[in-house]
Every structure is written in C-alpha cells, then in structure tokens.
Amino acid sequence: MALLQSTLQKGVAGRLSRDRFAAPLPRLATAGLRRNQQEPCNVTSAMPSSRPSTGRHTLVVCNGAPGVLALPLDKDLEQPLPGFDSIKDALNDLAAGKFVVVLDDENRENEGDLICCADKATTELMAYMVEYTTGVICIAMEGSDLDRLKLPLMVSSLENEESMYTAFTITVDLREGISTGISASDRAKTIRHLADPQAKATDFRRPGHIFPLRYRPGGVLVRPGHTEASVDLARLAGSYPAGVLCEIVNKADGSMARTPDLLKYAKEHNLKCITIADLMRYRLRHDKLVTPAGSRTMASTRHGPMAAHSFTSALDGAEHVVFATGSSSQGSSQPVLVSVRREGGVEDLVGARSSSGGAASSSGRGLDGALATAAADGRGAVVYLRSRTAGEPCLVPEHGSPAPSDPECMDIVDYGLAAQMLRALGHSTVRVDAADVSTISALRSCGLTVTPVAVAHPSLNGHSANGTPTAHSLAGAR
C-alpha cells in the first residue's frame, strides 16, 4: 500500500534493476520500435515470415540482439499460431512423460528444442534426445534450487558472451550410482536427482556432463527463451519446475533445424510442436500474475471521491494500482469505462500531456486527464502500471519514438496484468474509448469483453471538449 501514498510523488524512483540476463519486455507497435533510445529495433510479422499477417496490430517482443518476436494482437490468447499445436495439448504430453518440440522466433535463435520434464527423465528419453539433437543436454532450473545445490554461474553476467546471454552454471554429474556420467542412463539419473527437492550439493561432482541453466524469474514473460520455456512448461504440466532441453539438428548434415524442418520432424515423430509466443499468451490467460495488496478510499480528490486498489505483480514484485470512480469500485453490473496507462514519472507529477497523443485522445491526456475522464463518466477505472525497466529517462522526449515510460509504449504483459486486475475487481466486461484501438484489441485477446464507445473527454481547465463548463468546474465556482 505504500504506492498508494507515494505513487505521484516518487515518480520513477525505486525502479527495479535488472542484469544482462533480463531481456526487454514485449512492446506493442504498429511501426518502428526502439529497445532503448539509441538502438533501433525492426518489427517483423508473426512467425514464420511466410505466414500472412492476422491483423494490423502486432505485439512485439524485443528480446535483445538480434531480433524481435511478433505476436498477433487480434487473436484470442487461447488459440495457437496457425500450424502449431495448443499449449494445453503439449502440457498433457509433458505430464505423460513425452517430449515436445518448442520453437522460438525465427528472428531470435530460430531454433527448436526437444523439451521434457526433468523429473520424468528416463534412459530411453535421453537416448532419443542424444540421437536427434546436438547432444549438449541441459536442465533449466530455478535460481533457488541452483543456490541450494551450490551451482554458481559458469561466468558472471558481465563476462557472459554467449549470443543470447544464456545463464550456464558449472556442469555436474551425480556422485553415486553412475559410471562416467556420459551414457544415457547416467545422464537420466543425474537429471532426475537435480529435479529432486531433497537433493544436496554434495550429491554431485563437478565438472560433469549435464549443463544446468539458471531460469529467469518471471519466465517467458520476462525472457522469451527456451530456458524459461522449459521451466514454465514443467510447472504448468504439474511436474517439478525443472525442464530438460537440447537443440534439434538435421541428421543428414548436423545443421540446425529451422521452422519447416521442425514442423516436419514433429509430424514424423508424432510430437506436439509449440511456440514460445503461444506459451507467453497462454500464461497471460491462465497464470495468476497479480495478487491484491490492499485498497484505500479517498473521499476528496480534485476529481471527486475515488478508490485505489493496489496489486502486486508475481513477475517482479512491482505494485500497480487501479483508480476507480463511482460504482466501478463496487463491480457494478454496468460496464466500467477503462483506460490503461504506464507510469509517466515527472509528467504524471506535474500533469503534463504526452506529446505522442492529441489533446482529445486518451493517450495524450496524461494521468490527470485519464482520471478526469473516469470521474466525469461516473463509472470509470484507470489502470496505472508501474514501470519495470531500470534506467529509463525521467522525461519523455518531445520528438522521436516514445520512451519506455510513455503511456503509448505498452506491451502484452502490461495488458495481461491490467486484464487480471480488472477481473479481480469484478470487471469482466468493460467499455474503452473507441479511439484507443490498441487497448480494445489487447484486452479482448486477454479474455475481457470490450465495448468501444465514443468518449467526451473533459478539459482539464474546467471546460469540456466543446467548451461548456464541466460539473466539477461549476461546483467549484459556487
């Protein structure tokens, strides 16, 4: 609840730091996108590139050099990308002890991994994996487990020069009950014991033939890589949160298998083939990403009575707020008018309008304007999301691409969090300004029923958009 007392005063202070293993989060874009103020990032269509676009708007993940991941914005989060299996079907196979093929984006690694649950590793699975992959078998694990087993990073984050900054730890073999550690049987035993919550650091010898990888907290919603995908999949399948993974190769020449090869391979071997993009979308719909942290009623604000509902993000511990006016605080049967904004720092503090939107648009009116619109409607809710990126500029530049803290620079995780917060307050059906097409499409894809409506935004100087005095300005004049 500390955020409720200080959100406008603290601006951008207290943002979470991140290391080099933290990939930038997915950004919403219809044109060019910048990962930061200096580095351009090109937007591509949904993978694979030969597939036609599903709509004008795309959700784009900038996951570090090189490349981006583009997700269709106008698709329901339950539906897999065309040509791929559903996450639900893949989870059923994983729970049954089978492999699945998992692809990342063709503009990232453009590779597919064989993945299975670590606690279900067998000699037969390891022998199959060695035959069809590079043979460098890894196990992705949560940081708490690696710390318990005293398995530090192979190199520090500053020294990591791997192309995707994969967080390799020192290698291990099981100390007892195996021979050299390289056989399929030995590797299966080592992997199963690594996934045993009762295992101890002394149970393993170093170095060895199994490569543990450190999972990034928040999973694919923070870093859309195979390391995070394998742990997320194992957890969602009901297994211990540790996944076995290795890159699939073409047997003829040992080259890396790409999307057409991987789809053919999965079909020939009767394996489910899924994408990290779909796993991200599945988690946004099914994972519990926010927890209520408290509520506060403010009887007197410059926009009238208002309630503030605080939520804590399970991804990074950030605290977000829904400001509710009128009957929206009680989950009225009438749909609330919703706007979604990211923290704007100094601009929110002084009530400045964003330079990226027009004076009458929801994106250009700033937090104060959004609150005024919600209050004037009488059944409004403003979702106010804290920034998750360290080192952002405190002021949005007047020209050029919006800074990450700019309200227009929204991402799929932002909308997923917003949808869960609204649903927790009883708002599964909402109204949104018809001009805010990105929010309409994104909240629909996250499972909310959205009705576009024409919104008359009150002027912040006491007059509405057509020049007539507002009720609040008349009341203040009495």
Listed residue (228, 209, 297) closest to 1, CA to CA: 297
Q: Are 449 and 430 contacting, i.e. CB atoms less than 8 angstroms apart?
A: yes
Picking from 2, 118, 111, 23, the residue whose alpha carbon sits closest to that of residue 65 is: 23
CB 230 within 8 A of CB 114: no
161 phi-psi bin (left φ>0, alpha ψ -120 to 50, beta other)? alpha
Asked whether the beta carbons of 61 and 224 are under 8 A apart, the reply is yes
At residue 383, φ and ψ (nearest 5 deg) are -85, 120
Q: Where are the beta strands (DSSP E) in 227-328?
A: 242-247, 272-275, 290-298, 306-313, 319-324
What pTM did the predictor assign?
A: 0.75
Contact by Cβ (8 Å): 272, 101: yes
pLDDT of the chain along its 478 residues, tens only? 444 444 333 332 332 232 333 333 333 222 222 222 223 333 223 333 333 333 333 344 333 333 344 555 556 677 788 899 999 999 999 999 999 999 987 666 678 999 999 999 999 999 999 999 999 999 999 999 999 999 999 987 777 777 677 889 999 999 999 999 999 999 999 999 999 999 999 999 999 999 999 999 999 998 899 999 999 999 999 999 999 999 999 998 999 999 999 999 999 999 999 999 999 989 988 899 999 999 999 888 888 899 999 999 998 889 999 999 876 554 456 799 999 998 877 667 766 555 444 333 344 467 888 999 999 988 999 999 987 554 343 333 444 444 444 445 677 788 999 999 999 999 999 999 999 988 998 898 888 999 999 998 887 655 444 344 444 443 433 3
Provide φ and ψ at 248, rounded to 5°: -85, 140
Could you give the 3-state DSSP secondary structure of residue 85?
coil
Pairing of strands 449-453, 429-433: parallel
